[in-house]
Amino acid sequence: MRLHTHDYRAPDTDGIVDGAILMHREMSRLLARRGSVALHDLTAGPRCVAGLGGGDVVYAGSGPYAFLYHHWREQYGGDFRIVREVHTALWSGYWAQEELCAPLVRPGDMALFPTEYTRRLFLRNFPSVTASGSAVAYPMLDRLPRRAPRALPPAGRPLRIGYLGALSLAKNFDQVLSVFARCHREAGGGVSLVCAGKPNDPRWEAGRVRALLREAGVAEGAVRMEGVRPQERLTEFFDAIDVLLFPSTASRETLGRVVLEALAHGVPVLAAAVGPAVELLPARNLVATALDTGSRFDMGRVGPLGRVDEDALVEKLLTRDIEPAALRSVTPYTDSTFLRTLAGHPLPVPADPDRVLPSAVRVAPRTGSGAAADAAVATALFRDFFEHRDGALTAALDARAARTGRDDPALRRVVAAPQRNLADYRAFPRLLDALVLPPLTYTLAPAEVGAALTGDTP
């Protein structure tokens, strides 16, 4: 097997904090160290797959751009396998990738997912994703410590709560603050909070969070806001906490790298009882969660799909109703599983995933679209963007403004920016949304009776 992939070893990720980007970079370095990979630059166009034959495999580990390889394979008569990835759930980027790939997928191609939850979501919505042509593989553990589970302080003793990740409503960060404030008060000040992450809204800036907690009766010094913490300093963060909160129900959530990172450091995690956490954590560490079945969601925006039960979470923290740190299934998160899957030999993954949420998602159908033609248009748009054909991009935005009767200054700024960054999902994917495949909408149906208790049918 001759493996080919985009060279992500040194991407320009200044200001970009994203788990998928970290994974792309880690995998590029892993494969380069093995010496069994031909590295190329996806943004240089179709010559990166020129001359590839039956013994070649392209690992599309560079973001939601696998449709490029599929289109170029058809266009130039290639005969190689493609392994694509899905790193976000209900987001237009990876959803559009699968729409564009669907008519071009061949036997032997493989789709990789971080969790069985995400795999089931795509299995239910795309005939192009099949049981035999998909796998769960997200290698992380071989680059993390493997510490023994840490003992929790007994009830009544000081407890250090941690939160790591984007400070956003999508991840229910407001519930983290609410739960912490209640625990702090009810424990007589014996509960503290350490937060590390990038605020996505001014309301989550450190000063404003401290002011909010002061108003809720939290003593000065009981909360520490650390901002973005580099990967190489995660151990310091986990050494400073006793338990990590992960109440995220974000529509894009497919894993939660922070969950694996915490468990590897021996820190237990309390998480929302929906989505990826269900298959990662013991049932005792899952917090009852109500899905938002009354809203219409847009794949162009990220938001929470539900809310955790704050009373139940407070009770767990104060009574220490928490299992020690343990990952339910190690297999999908090792290098060996990932490499076997690239070679076309995926391993079965023992998992008891969330079956309720994938069954509840109802996606509005795409209308007026031909996927194969769209793939050609999307590929041309990609080349225009990364080869700085700004005149073509401006003309496309002009035509859109004339057709819709309104202009979009934010899209104009994307085109006017001098840099073209593959790692910036706020740039080209937004043009794709605006000019090729508008983001779809979806709703969440009430849970099907017995959905969580059914067998392994996706």
- Model pLDDT, residue 333: 95
Residue 318 sits in a domain whose CATH number is 3.40.50.2000
**Domain-located, residue 118:** no
- Model pLDDT, residue 457: 40
pLDDT digits (tens, 9 = 90+) for 109-159: 999 999 999 999 999 999 999 999 999 999 999 999 999 999 999 999 999
End-to-end CA distance of the chain: 31
Q: Residue 195 belongs to what domain range?
A: 159-328
Q: Could you give the number of structural domains in the chain?
A: 1
- Model pLDDT, residue 16: 58
Least confident of 57-66, 199-208, 344-353: 344-353
- Model pLDDT, residue 429: 95
Which residues on adjacent β-strands are paired with residue 225?
195
pLDDT digits (tens, 9 = 90+) for 152-187: 999 999 999 999 999 999 999 999 999 999 999 999
Which residues on adjacent β-strands are paired with residue 271?
246, 286
**Domain-located, residue 394:** no
- Model pLDDT, residue 432: 96
Check: CB of residue 154 under 8 Å from CB of residue 352. Answer: no
pLDDT digits (tens, 9 = 90+) for 328-365: 999 999 999 999 999 999 988 767 899 999 999 999 99
Place 12 in a pLDDT band, splitting at 50, 70 and 90.
low
- Helix-then-strand count for the chain, H and E: 16, 17
Amino acid at 58: V
Long-range CB pairs of 447-452 (<8 Å, 24+ gap) are 447/291, 447/356, 447/359, 447/360, 448/356, 448/359, 448/360, 451/355, 451/356, 451/359, 451/360, 452/354, 452/355, 452/356
**Domain-located, residue 451:** no
Give the whole-angstrom CA distance, residue 339 versus residue 345. Answer: 9
Structure-token pair, residue 373: 């033609």
- Model pLDDT, residue 369: 63
What separation in angstroms does the CA of 66 have from each of 3, 105, 365, 382? 15, 10, 22, 12
pLDDT digits (tens, 9 = 90+) for 214-243: 999 999 899 999 998 888 889 999 999 999
449 pLDDT above the threshold of 50: no
- With a threshold of 0.85, does the pTM exceed it? yes
453 pLDDT above the threshold of 70: no
Structure-token pair, residue 376: 């050609």
Q: Compute how many other C-beta atoms are within 10 angstroms of the C-beta atom of residue 441.
A: 13
Could you give phi then psi for residue 344, rounded to 5 degrees? 90, 20
Structure-token pair, residue 299: 């794949």
What separation in angstroms does the CA of 261 have from each of 250, 292, 457? 19, 28, 30
Check: CB of residue 135 under 8 Å from CB of residue 113. Answer: yes
Least confident of 307-311, 426-430, 453-457: 453-457
Kindly state the average pLDDT of the residues 55-82: 94
| Antiparallel, parallel or unpaired: β 191-196 and 159-164 | parallel
Which secondary structure element, helix H or strand E, spans residue 194, and what is its range?
strand 191-196
Kindly state the average pLDDT of the residues 206-217: 96
**Domain-located, residue 435:** no
**Domain-located, residue 341:** no
Residue 218, CA atoms < 13 Å, CB-side half-sphere: 23
How many residues are present in the chain?
458
Residue with tokens 């700004």: 390
Check: CB of residue 257 under 8 Å from CB of residue 140. Answer: yes
**Of 450 and 281, which is predicted with more confidence?**
281
**Domain-located, residue 190:** yes
**Domain-located, residue 456:** no
**Domain-located, residue 177:** yes
- Model pLDDT, residue 130: 97
- Model pLDDT, residue 452: 39
Kindly state the average pLDDT of the residues 209-214: 96
Give the list of residues 6+ apart from residue 55 with CB closer than 8 angstroms, or none.
1, 2
